[in-house]
């Protein structure tokens, strides 16, 4: 491996070799770079992505390909000749190949699967047979499994012979004659043991497994709670089917996090990079939620029309409508974001709804009191410093704002915290209770709360 060079120098070197059409020089230069540096080149020169992958050694090409965005991967496959595609797909680890294929249209998957070697085709079809989002889609069948009656020397010889085809050799799996998992053992135990010692004398039976039908979020939780680099995947009869490695789980977790962040912004998840997505497709992703939110906001206009008479009688109330609406929406968005994050991290379950409600009742009340007092003081100061005249009944107006803010912030906190839990209970995505959606719901109810409080304080004074 050549010493690491500055990225700007690397980019200039690549451009010079491309300009001179020096294919051999490009091949030598690319195969000397770190995988991450090659990815940078592809990011900077996407039009040369297929060329870069083609010039790399097949092992390095697969290592680069699997860390690229799905859209870039698809572009590369479209531009490469069939024999190169076959080499690349056969070299990819089974789990990474499955992850790539599952995002493609079924017609494209059928054609690409034909290019695989018979054994790789069998493995890929097996993994694609598991439901989307399951641990089965993440696992790889490339692992080292040994038997309890082997000696340590037998195990080490076996690793030397077959280890190069394994996803990881950090952990060795012990199985019986029926393929059922007995234990997983770190390789250091074999390296430190006497060569003539039996595997059965090393195992302790303390192992953690994932079921092939578990949700991928379950794998994330198990890895988070246990210091493991890989976990065995078994079926309902404890037969070892494959392993899941920590890097695969981290990749999926990052994708889910990005997807949730996009949904919380009030749009559908993007399935390709923002700058690569066609405008019409981008509009389609955003239009659905935007229309729903717009129609919901129309209810706010309806609510205001209902209180039109009160607004005409006490025009001063209209000055505080933006303040009231934004405060309720902001408190709801805060609560929604906190609860969605806590649910994603496994800190909150559906059964915790009452504990969440109690906390939001307390925190929402305190937050409402804080904002309400600020609103009250603001009116008092503006009135006494003659910055603005709120009329002879300004004290009642100030009290209206105080109690309206208290009620609306409390209501927003309750709405924002409960909606994700309700959606989860209905087996819907909690991230769909995005900040804009919660804010819209709170806007509508906030108007009703505001004018109801105003009617209590100003009846017979400003309101009839």
CA separation for the pair 204, 207 (Å, rounded): 8
CA separation for the pair 245, 146 (Å, rounded): 19
Q: Distance between alpha carbon 340 and the CA centroid of its chain, in Å?
A: 12
CA separation for the pair 213, 102 (Å, rounded): 17
107 burial level (CB within 10 Å; 0-12, 13-18, 19+): exposed
Domain count, the chain: 3
134 domain-assigned: no
Q: What is the DSSP letter of 2?
A: P
Helix (H) or strand (E) holding 300: helix 279-306
Statement to judge: residues 282 and 408 lie in one domain: yes
3-state secondary structure of 341: helix
Statement to judge: residues 120 and 13 lie in one domain: yes
Q: What angle do CA 153, 154, 158 make, to 5 degrees?
A: 115
CA separation for the pair 181, 185 (Å, rounded): 11
| pTM, 2 dp | 0.58
Last residue of a domain, one of 192, 227, 245: 245
Q: Which two tokens stand for residue 7?
A: 């990225």
Statement to judge: residues 85 and 157 lie in one domain: no
Statement to judge: residues 237 and 364 lie in one domain: no
Identify the residue whose tokens are 């389609």: 284
Statement to judge: residues 113 and 149 lie in one domain: no
Q: Which two tokens stand for residue 140?
A: 């790889």
CA separation for the pair 143, 168 (Å, rounded): 7
Q: Which CATH number is 42's domain given?
A: 1.25.60.10
Statement to judge: residues 61 and 169 lie in one domain: no
Statement to judge: residues 433 and 299 lie in one domain: yes
Q: Write down the pLDDT at residue 2.
A: 47
3-state secondary structure of 168: coil
Statement to judge: residues 317 and 431 lie in one domain: yes
Residue 185 φ then ψ, to 5°:
-130, 130
427 domain-assigned: yes
Statement to judge: residues 342 and 391 lie in one domain: yes
Q: Which CATH number is 443's domain given?
A: 1.10.357.20
CA separation for the pair 109, 98 (Å, rounded): 10
137 domain-assigned: no
Statement to judge: residues 221 and 302 lie in one domain: no
Q: Write down the pLDDT at residue 294.
A: 72
H helical segments located in 56-105 = 58-65, 70-79, 82-91, 94-101
* Tens-digit pLDDT string for the chain (464 aa): 444 556 778 888 888 888 888 888 888 888 888 888 888 888 888 888 899 999 899 999 999 998 888 888 888 998 988 888 899 999 888 888 888 888 888 778 888 888 888 888 888 878 888 888 888 888 888 889 999 999 999 999 999 988 876 777 889 999 999 889 999 999 999 999 999 999 999 988 888 899 999 888 888 888 878 878 889 999 888 999 888 888 888 877 777 766 666 666 656 666 666 666 777 877 777 777 677 667 766 777 777 777 777 767 678 888 888 888 888 888 888 888 888 878 877 788 888 999 999 999 999 999 999 999 999 999 999 999 989 888 888 899 999 999 999 999 999 999 988 988 888 888 777 766 566 677 777 888 888 898 889 888 888 777 75
Last residue of a domain, one of 224, 245, 266: 245
Parallel/antiparallel/unpaired status of strands 171-175 and 145-146: parallel
How many other β-carbons are positioned within 10 Å of the β-carbon of residue 416?
31
Q: Write down the pLDDT at residue 274.
A: 64
Domain encompassing residue 119: 7-129
Residue 146 φ then ψ, to 5°:
-130, 175
464 domain-assigned: no
1 domain-assigned: no
Q: Which CATH number is 161's domain given?
A: 3.10.580.10
Closest CA to 295 of 440, 448, 450, 442: 440
263 domain-assigned: no
223 domain-assigned: yes
Q: Write down the pLDDT at residue 458.
A: 86
140 domain-assigned: no
Q: Are 138 and 214 within 8 A, CB to CB?
A: no
Statement to judge: residues 360 and 281 lie in one domain: yes
Statement to judge: residues 100 and 159 lie in one domain: no
Q: Write down the pLDDT at residue 1.
A: 44
Q: Which residues of 191-217 are buried (b: 16+ CB within 10 A; e: fewer)?
A: eebeeeeebeebbeeebeebbbebebb
Q: Are 188 and 249 within 8 A, CB to CB?
A: no
Question: Which are the contacts of 319, defined by CB distance < 8 A and separation ≥ 6?
Answer: none
């Amino acid at each position: 491996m050549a010493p690491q060079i500055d990225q700007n120098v690397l980019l200039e070197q690549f451009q010079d070799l491309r300009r001179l059409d020096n294919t051999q020089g490009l091949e030598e230069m690319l195969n000397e770079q770190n995988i991450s540096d090659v990815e940078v080149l592809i990011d900077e020169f996407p039009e040369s992505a297929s060329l870069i992958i083609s010039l790399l050694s097949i092992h390095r090409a697969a290592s680069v390909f699997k860390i690229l965005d799905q859209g870039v991967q698809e572009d590369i496959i479209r531009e490469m000749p069939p024999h190169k595609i076959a080499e690349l797909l056969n070299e990819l680890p089974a789990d990474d190949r499955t992850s790539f294929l599952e995002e493609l249209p079924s017609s494209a998957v059928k054609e690409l699967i034909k290019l695989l070697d018979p054994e790789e085709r069998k493995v890929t079809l097996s993994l694609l047979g598991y439901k989307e989002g399951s641990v089965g889609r993440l696992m790889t069948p490339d692992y080292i499994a040994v038997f309890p009656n082997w000696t340590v020397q037998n195990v080490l010889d076996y690793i030397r012979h077959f280890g190069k085809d394994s996803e990881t050799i950090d952990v060795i799996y012990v199985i019986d004659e029926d393929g059922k998992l007995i234990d997983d053992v770190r390789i250091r135990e074999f390296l430190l043991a006497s060569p003539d010692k039996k595997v059965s004398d090393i195992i302790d039976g303390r192992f953690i497994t994932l079921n092939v039908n578990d949700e991928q979020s379950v794998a994330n939780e198990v890895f988070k709670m246990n210091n493991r680099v890989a976990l065995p995947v078994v079926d309902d009869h404890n037969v070892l089917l494959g392993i899941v490695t920590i890097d695969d789980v981290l990749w999926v977790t990052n994708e889910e996090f990005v997807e949730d962040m996009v949904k919380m912004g009030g749009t559908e998840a993007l399935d390709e990079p923002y700058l690569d997505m066609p405008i019409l497709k981008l509009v389609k992703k955003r239009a659905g939620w935007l229309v729903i939110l717009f129609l919901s906001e129309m209810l706010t206009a309806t609510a205001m029309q209902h209180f039109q008479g009160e607004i005409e009688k006490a025009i001063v109330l209209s000055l505080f409508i933006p303040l009231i609406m934004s405060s309720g929406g902001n408190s709801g968005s805060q609560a929604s974001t906190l609860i969605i994050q806590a649910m994603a991290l496994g800190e909150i379950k559906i059964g915790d709804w009452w504990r969440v409600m109690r906390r939001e009742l307390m925190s929402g009340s305190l937050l409402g009191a804080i904002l309400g007092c600020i609103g009250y003081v603001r009116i008092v100061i503006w009135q006494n410093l003659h910055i603005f005249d709120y009329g002879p009944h300004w004290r009642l107006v100030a009290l209206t704002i105080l109690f309206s803010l208290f009620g609306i912030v409390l209501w927003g906190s309750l709405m924002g915290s409960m909606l994700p839990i309700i959606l989860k209970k209905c087996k819907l995505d909690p991230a769909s209770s995005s900040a804009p959606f919660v804010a819209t719901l709170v806007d509508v109810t906030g108007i009703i709360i505001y004018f109801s409080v105003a009617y209590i304080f100003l009846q017979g004074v400003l309101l009839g």
